[in-house]
């Protein structure tokens, strides 16, 4: 990692820590400001990481709208109260029920890769904390999200409502069959691990649409699988390693 990048990261992290200490001391609007600054610092980290990973992502920068969405969604509202001080660290956090809220860097890349437009209709399978749905809700008009674990589904629905994400429709249930009533979708985000891609989800993907699935465990995304339904109807997949790493020495 270039020295400059590493220095910037250290500064950003120091800045975040300072802000979070302030959070404990202050309240009300000041607290909101502190979270906003921490979020902004996190944005810098994510942008640096993306630039470093451009080789695999095939692009130097994330869509500015995606970054704006990440900068505006209050991640601290989506993590358990006792972990709020870590909400703007670039790391996954446990949210109970054996589930996690993903690393913001991975959320950013996944959101970017599905290439949504404001008029897109997006399906999310695995609401979890509701954070990914909130990010999508900042970008598109209609988000549909399904969660199989009852307590998580209820908590996420309440949280999204409280935070005024009116354009997210949630339900508790089995995501395997997608959400036929609102299909087809321009993009599908599967946040839970799957042992295969459910055929009904491929069915409910619009021609030209993308589906993204993280592969690996909850705390370590190994790769991202991008499924594309091409104009010809052919299904192609791309596996994206979310890290700046080439497997042969002497290559960059």
Partner 1 sequence: MQSHPPYLSVALLSASALAYEILLMRLFTIIQWHHFAYMVIGLALLGYGISGTLVSIFKRQLLNNFARIYISCLLAFAVASVMGYLLAQTIPFNAEEILWDPHQVVYLGLMFLLLTIPFVLAATAICLTFIQFSPKVPRIYAADLLGAGVGSLLILLLLYWLFPHWLLIIIGIGGMTAAVLAAFELNFSSKNKTIVVGVFLITFLIMLGPFIELKISPYKALTQTMRIDGTEIIDEKSSPLGYLSFVNSDKVPFRHAPGLSVNAKYEPLRQIGIFTDGDNMSVITQYPDSLDKLQYLDQMTSAAPYHLRQLNQILIIGAGGGADILQAKYHHISKISAVEINPQIVNEMNERYAKFSGQLYQQPDVAVHVGEARSFLSGKHAQYDLIQIALLDAFNASSSGLYALSESYLYTVEAMKLYLNHLAPDGFLAITRWIKLPPRDSLKLAATLITALEQNGATSPGQQIALIRSWQTSTLIVKNGHFTEHELLALQNFCTDRAFDIAYTATITPEQINQFNILSEPLFNTAITAMLGQHDDHFLDHYKFNLQPATDDRPYFHHFFKWGSFGEIFRLRQQGGMALIEWGYMVLIATLCISVLLSILLIVSPLWIYRRTRIAGTVNIRRAAVFYYFLAIGLAFLFIEIAFIQKFTLFLHHPITTIAVVLTAFLVFAGLGSLSSGRWLRRFNSRLIVNVAVTGITFLCLGYMFLLGPFFQALAASIVPLKVVIVVLLIAPLAFCMGIPFPAGLNTLNKYADQYVPWAWGINGCASVISAALATLLAIHFGFTTVILIAVLLYLTLLIVHPGFAFSQQHQ
* Contact residues for partner 1, defined by CB under 8 A: 1, 49, 52-53, 55-56, 58, 90-92, 94, 97-98, 103, 105-106, 148-150, 174, 176, 193, 195-199, 202, 215-223, 225, 227, 234-239, 241-245, 247-250
Q: CA–CA separation, 50 vs 242, rounded Å?
A: 9
Taking the complex as a whole, the smallest distance from the CB of residue 164 to partner 1 amounts, in Å, to 29
Q: Which residues contact 58 (CB under 8 A, 6 or more apart)?
A: none
Taking the complex as a whole, the smallest distance from the CB of residue 132 to partner 1 amounts, in Å, to 17
Q: Reply yes or no on whether 102 is catalytic.
A: yes
Q: Which residues contact 7 (CB under 8 A, 6 or more apart)?
A: none
> Of 21 and 245, which has the nearer Cβ to partner 1?
245
> Of 31 and 243, which has the nearer Cβ to partner 1?
243
The residue written with tokens 């619009």 in the block is 206
> Of 206 and 238, which has the nearer Cβ to partner 1?
238
Q: For residues 142 and 121, is the Cβ–Cβ distance under 8 A? A: yes
Catalytic residue (one of 13, 72, 85, 102): 102
Taking the complex as a whole, the smallest distance from the CB of residue 172 to partner 1 amounts, in Å, to 9
Q: Are strands 93-96 and 235-240 parallel, antiparallel or unpaired?
A: unpaired
Q: Is the four-CA dihedral 28, 29, 30, 35 of positive or negative sign?
A: positive
> Of 20 and 137, which has the nearer Cβ to partner 1?
20
């Amino acid at each position: 990692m270039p020295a400059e990048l590493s220095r910037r990261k250290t500064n950003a992290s120091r800045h975040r820590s300072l802000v979070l200490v302030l959070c404990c001391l202050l309240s009300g609007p000041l607290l909101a400001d502190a979270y906003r600054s921490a979020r902004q610092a996190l944005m810098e980290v994510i942008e640096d990481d993306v630039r470093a990973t451009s080789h695999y992502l095939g692009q130097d920068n994330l869509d500015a709208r995606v970054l704006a969405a990440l900068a505006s969604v209050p991640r601290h509202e989506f993590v358990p109260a006792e972990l709020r001080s870590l909400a703007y660290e670039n790391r996954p956090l446990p949210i109970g029920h054996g589930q996690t809220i993903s690393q913001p860097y991975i959320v950013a890349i996944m959101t970017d890769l599905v290439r949504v437009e404001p008029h897109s209709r997006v399906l999310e399978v695995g609401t979890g904390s509701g954070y990914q749905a909130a990010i999508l809700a900042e970008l598109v008009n209609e988000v549909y999200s399904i969660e199989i674990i009852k307590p998580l589904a209820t908590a996420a629905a309440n949280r999204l409502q409280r935070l005024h994400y009116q354009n997210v429709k949630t339900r508790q249930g089995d995501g395997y069959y997608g959400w036929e009533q609102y299909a087809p979708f321009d993009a599908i985000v599967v946040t839970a691990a799957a042992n295969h891609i459910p055929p009904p989800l491929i069915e409910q993907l619009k021609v030209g649409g993308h589906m993204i699935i993280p592969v690996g465990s909850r705390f370590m995304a190994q790769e991202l699988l991008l499924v594309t339904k091409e104009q010809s109807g052919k299904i192609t997949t791309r596996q994206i390693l979310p890290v700046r790493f080439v497997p042969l020495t002497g290559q960059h």
